Amino acid sequence: MFSHHLDEARVRELGVTTVSIDEIMRTYDVVSLHSASTPQTYHMLGAEDFAKMKDGATFINTARGAICDQDALIAELQRDPSVPSSTSPTPRSTSPIHRCGPCRTSS
């Protein structure tokens, strides 16, 4: 788990292990993003992060679109269609994510 908000006491209380975004993107089979949209989280994930994902890893974004650089996500999905992706809530019909063939959206 990665969080800007948890201190060590809360991490122990929850019984979770914290890791860097880099480690998450490089090693996990499923990356699920849950975060509020704030100035601190704007484009928290970008091209370098998506390029680190394992072949066949799944990216699930239940956070607001501004947290991910959507153009970078689209570029990675087009470069490597083995990376399944799902976004929820469904992006607006004008969102550039709809240009991406392998991307699935769900509401």
User: So what's the pLDDT on residue 36?
Assistant: 86
CB atoms within 10 A of CB 73: 25
pLDDT in tens, 67-96: 888 888 888 877 766 655 555 455 556 666
User: So what's the pLDDT on residue 58?
Assistant: 85
Quote the pTM value: 0.71
Output the six-digit token pair for 58.
């799944």
User: So what's the pLDDT on residue 107?
Assistant: 45
Specify the DSSP element, H or E, that contains 86.
Answer: strand 85-87
Alpha helices in the chain (DSSP H): 8-14, 21-27, 47-52, 70-79
